[in-house]
């Protein structure tokens, strides 16, 4: 700016300031993009957060374009925005809009809790009891549990019947309903776990019953 009759500020005010627009109302946020498949349970799984977000059930098994920021998750199918969620940092959990779920709209019945129960019971009674217990959990939507059930069916195909049945019995007794936990138990060969033993029912008190002292 040497040998000039004005300073930088004067130049900015006279030549540039009137060209500036207003600042954005919202703070700038970095956007991240992902293309994910909508699972049978009506959710997309964002691996970065290990969290699942619901999508309207009619889009199951379709490709979805996901745009997410530090605060929000936007889900598009074929260029149309179909779902918006606040981004969650709760790993291995779900953000679910009940209106997205097929259990609220019964037009789509090719997958259901009853079909999972029937299939598991056909493999073994223990497996059927485990699947029934999983769907009886309070506060969980059936669609949130389909992925767990799919994981258990994969484990059933991997491990021998008697070992898998023992794991099912232990899981029901201890209310272990995570396929990962049951998988870890099977991988260890049930090390450290035993099936619950039937408790012996004590004899009732009666004057005609002779105790061990009578024969000593």
For the stretch 152-194, pLDDT in tens is 999 999 998 899 999 999 999 999 998 989 999 999 888 666 5
* Higher per-residue pLDDT: 139 or 87: 87
Q: What percent of the chain has pLDDT over 90?
A: 53
Residues 66 and 121 in one domain: no
Domain boundary among 100, 128, 147: 100
Domain, as residue range, for 147: 113-187
Which range among 79-88, 99-108, 181-190 shows the weakest confidence by mean pLDDT? 99-108
pLDDT at 214: 60
Residues 78 and 141 in one domain: no
Does 94 map to a domain? yes
Domain boundary among 75, 100, 125: 100
Length of the chain: 216
Does 105 map to a domain? no
Number of H helices, E strands in the chain: 6, 7
Does 17 map to a domain? no
pTM of the model: 0.58
Number of domains comprising the chain: 2
Helices marked H in 84-204 — which ranges?
A: 113-123, 125-135, 142-158, 161-174, 179-187
Domain boundary among 50, 77, 100: 100
């Amino acid at each position: 700016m040497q040998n000039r009759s004005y300073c930088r500020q004067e130049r900015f005010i006279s030549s540039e300031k009137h060209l500036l627009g207003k600042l954005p109302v919202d703070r700038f946020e970095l956007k991240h993009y992902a293309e994910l498949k909508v699972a049978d349970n009506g959710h997309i799984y964002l691996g970065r957060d290990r969290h699942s977000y619901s999508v309207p059930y009619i889009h199951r098994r379709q490709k979805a374009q996901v745009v997410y920021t530090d605060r929000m998750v936007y889900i598009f199918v074929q260029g149309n925005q179909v779902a918006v969620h606040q981004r969650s940092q709760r790993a291995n959990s779900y953000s679910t809009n009940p209106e997205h779920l097929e259990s609220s709209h019964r037009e789509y019945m090719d997958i259901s809790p009853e079909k999972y129960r029937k299939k598991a019971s056909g493999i073994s009674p223990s497996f059927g009891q485990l699947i029934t217990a999983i769907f009886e959990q309070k506060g969980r939507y059936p669609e949130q549990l389909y992925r767990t059930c799919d994981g258990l069916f994969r484990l059933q195909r991997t491990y021998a019947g008697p070992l898998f049945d023992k794991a099912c019995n232990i899981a029901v007794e201890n209310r272990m309903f995570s396929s990962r936990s049951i998988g870890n138990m099977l991988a260890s060969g049930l090390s450290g776990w035993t099936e619950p033993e039937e408790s012996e029912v004590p004899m009732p008190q009666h004057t005609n019953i002779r105790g061990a002292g009578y024969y000593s």
